[in-house]
A and B are shown apart, each in its own frame.
Chain A
Amino acid sequence: MTYTKGLAVGLMTSLLASTAFAEDIKVGFIGSLSSDTGLSTLRGAEIAIEELNAAGGILGQQITMVSADTGEDVTEGVKAYEYLAETEEVDFIISGSIDDVSLGWLPRMQEFQIPTLDTWTSYIGIIDMVAEDPELMAPYFMNIASDEALATLYINFGADVLKAKMGFDSVVIVAEDTAFGQAITGLVTEALAPVAGIEVKDTIIYDIGTVDFAPIFSKAQSSGADFIYQVSSVNSQVISSQYVKLQVPMAMTGVNVSALGMEYWEDTGGAGGGISTLSPIPSVGFPLDPVSQGFVDTYQAKYTSRPVLPHFNGFNAYHGLKQAMAAAEEAGGFDDVKAWNAAMLKQDLRLEKDGKLWLRYGFWQHGEIEEVTQRTYPQNARFDLTAPYDDAQPSMVVVQWKEDGTVGVVYPFEYASTEFELPSWVK
């Protein structure tokens, strides 16, 4: 009898426990747990969840989070998404994946129809998929400006600074062999000559495992171009540190993801001065509004390991997760994807600094045409490509690491904290 009673109590307890657990809103994180990029998203989401739970949760439920590591590998990324969907049965997924990994798990998202927010991937092809098939892509939102918007404003940097100020007429592109590299290279190649008047002399594609850039820099020099445009999102500290070590006598700018974190100086052993890169916002060296600064203060009080300052996607995760939960509250949860999508599209967080609109976390609507590029960006983060940037923040800024280890924003001029300079060894 005692055994039967015990069993019944145990069963009841288990049932109650599982019911209580099932009532929690479960968030899945997908990304690399060992990269600064992945950790930025993970930690931004963790802080947002803590704050939401402290305020009573969403729809009367607490929020929990589980993680799935992609290791920045496409196959592992697909497995990770399947794990979150099938084993953990999460309600919502927040992603800190790189472009290739997101492209890998995207078919799984279409299959499982789980609301998903990408905070790092900027591949314009995904936004095109949203425009072409809004129903299938209803669960997907990208709250970083897509690479088309990043490249467009970078072209302005080319015209305003590289051409007008530095007098550069030609460029050689040195790009990694990834989806991100191909997308940025294509966009820059198409626009630099007609818009900025800078001729693309050559394009050099390299494998992401490359550890010796000396012959590549020699090839770039022999192209006769005035400067190098690098596109590097993986192992970026290698190309930049070798550029400095070899003192390549050409200017180099472009995209260097390793330079987006405060650890860049340490990671390059101090051999990273002179490197400039476009960066989504907020970047290193970018002044913050009070709300975002509050997030950073909480972050730095909570985490002591790298990255000491969250990358831009950490901010995207922090604000974006709160917006996703607010949308779920309006839609009665995440199950009705269409309702959640409609509520998510209405999210619009405007953050001011010194009385000026500083950051805006909103989304482009379906059919809404961006005036500079004359195209649509449905479910993509809202951005502004025209000074004085009073509709939203610019899609990117250009930051430059100086040879003394400091870093600042050099473009757009409205956000600049320092001037663009050539490294001391470049004549």
Chain B
Amino acid sequence: MTQILIQGLLLSGLYALIAMGFMLIFSIGRTLNLAYGAYLMVGGYVYFWLSQQLGLPKIVGIGGAVLVGVLMGLLKHRLIVKTLKGDHVAVEISTLILAVVLQAGVVLVFGDSSKILLPIVPGVVTVAGAQVTYNILVATIISWVVILALYAFVRGTHTGRAMQAVSMDPKGAAISGIDPDRINLITWGISGALGALGGVFFASYTQLYPSMWVAPLIISVAVVIVGGIGSILGTLIVAHIVGFLEVIIVSVWAPELRGVFTMLLIIGVLVMRPQGLFGREETH
């Protein structure tokens, strides 16, 4: 039981970090950014290239990954989202295609064989019989720090409040003097950074492979749909529901059913409470 608790907490923290950037875009830009998983993939490979292949310090690898994530987010907004002017279906299809193109690019540069990232923080500690790597422990702590920082940013800064305003009513926000386009651009940049950072830790916990963008994307979609639009707290709670659900299923039932109940949870919430467990009702 203690092992389940520990592993559930650690995995959930990682899932919360992964899903947070996706939630921001979905809440503020009203876009299902299906290329979000590609931020994670590219972030992981950039870190691998800088720190493991070039031998640069790990902090440089993480910084490089985050920087590339920001650039990807900004470029995607400028070149795709803004160009398609709010046509959500076109944006979603384009982002999905972009993810596939990026995957092909990664195969071209790094090959299609899996790579194992060395732990960012090496070492293992045994807690109540469970093996806990410092790597996942640090990922969880960073996840919490990032989430708290994001919460403080959204609640306590002018830009954060502007993001909330655009999330609730873009036209009303514009009338109040907020530039929704600028806010969206910032949001895409932050989302890219969060995705790339999540990708570095996700890859160091699991492995690097060109199609690795799919699994985190599914996790993000699940967390955001179940959690609902615009709720950092909801994202955090649902990340823990999904994380614990997976660990419990694997530990006490059947490992091959790991993702099935997450899917059932999505369907159940879509049917019973379309706005999500913690999301606000949409008025339009």
Binding site for B on A (CB under 8 A): 34, 36, 177, 204-207, 209-212, 214-219, 221-222, 235, 237-238, 241-242, 245-249, 263, 267-271, 306, 425
Contact = CB atoms under 8 A, between A and B. Distances in A.
Interface stretch (B81-89, B162-170, B180-188, B248-256): B248-256
Contacts of B160: none
Given A206-B256, A214-B11, A237-B116, 12 more contacts: A206-B255, A209-B215, A211-B206, A215-B246, A215-B250, A218-B4, A238-B116, A241-B207, A242-B206, A246-B131, A249-B126, A269-B116
Interface centre among B130, B212, B250 (most CB of A within 10 A): B250
Contact of B116 (A212, A214, A216, A241): A241
A269 B52 contact: yes
A130 B119 CA distance: 48
Nearest to B209: A235
Contacts of A217: 131
Nearest to A206: B255
Nearest to B215: A211
Given A219-B250, A247-B131, A210 B117 contact: no
Contacts of A205: 254-256
Contact of A238 (B126, B131, B207, B246): B207
Interface string B124-155: 10100111010110000000000000000000
Nearest to B130: A218
Interface residues of B, number: 35
25 contacts: A36-B113, A205-B254, A209-B215, A210-B255, A210-B258, A214-B130, A215-B247, A215-B255, A216-B250, A216-B255, A218-B4, A218-B7, A237-B114, A238-B114, A238-B207, A242-B206, A245-B124, A246-B133, A248-B131, A249-B126, A267-B113, A267-B115, A269-B115, A270-B118, A271-B118
Contacts of A248: 131
Contact of B114 (A235, A306, A425): A235
A202 B124 CA distance: 26
A292 to B, nearest CB: 25
Contacts of A177: 256
Contacts of B136: 214
Given A207-B258, A238-B207, A214 B115 contact: no
Interface string B25-66: 000000000000000000000000000100000000000000
Interface string B247-271: 1001100111010000000000000
Nearest to B254: A205
A377 B254 CA distance: 35
Nearest to B247: A215
A277 B192 CA distance: 41
A306 B113 contact: yes
Contacts of B281: none
A384 B135 CA distance: 46
A212 B11 contact: yes
A215 B133 CA distance: 13
Nearest to A221: B129
Contacts of B4: 215, 218
